[in-house]
Homo-oligomer: A and B are copies of this chain.
């Protein structure tokens, strides 16, 4: 199973602590962690998963694998800029959004568009009722709950 953690490249200590714990829990549950491979939430989640012995993949916007944070074991340099956001969520069985700015919002939107479960921790709350496509972002209140939801929804 592959779980993507998406979030901003510049994030508060609080969000990074949440993301690191999400990464730890992803690894504990035996899933591969995919992120965008850069700093902030992406680095924190990768560090957490790596410290628990999990496999960490970073899907990078640029052409140089050395742009990955130090906890990415498998850097995938796409050279495709923001289009790499599409790859991050398409490759995942479920997506967990931690905080996030517009880049993260694009990943949430792409994931919902293609029917991937999206779990949110302190992230965008999309207006209920705006769309009939599905139920949108599922909100979690803790890293553990977020990963449990992601794993459960990915298996449906």
Which residues of A approach B to under 8 Å, CB–CB?
2, 32, 34, 55, 57, 59, 63, 65, 74-83, 85-87, 90-91, 93, 101-103, 105-106, 108-110, 112-114, 124-127, 130-131, 133
Contacts and interface: CB of A to CB of B under 8 A. Distances in A.
B114 A91 contact: no
Given A103-B109, A133-B101, A78 B90 contact: yes
A138 to B, nearest CB: 15
Contacts of A102: 109-110, 112-113, 131, 133
Given A109-B106, A124-B127, A133-B101, A78 B74 contact: no
A63 B90 contact: yes
A113 B82 contact: yes
A132 to B, nearest CB: 9
Contacts of A109: 102-103, 105-106, 108-109
Contacts of A113: 82, 101-103, 106
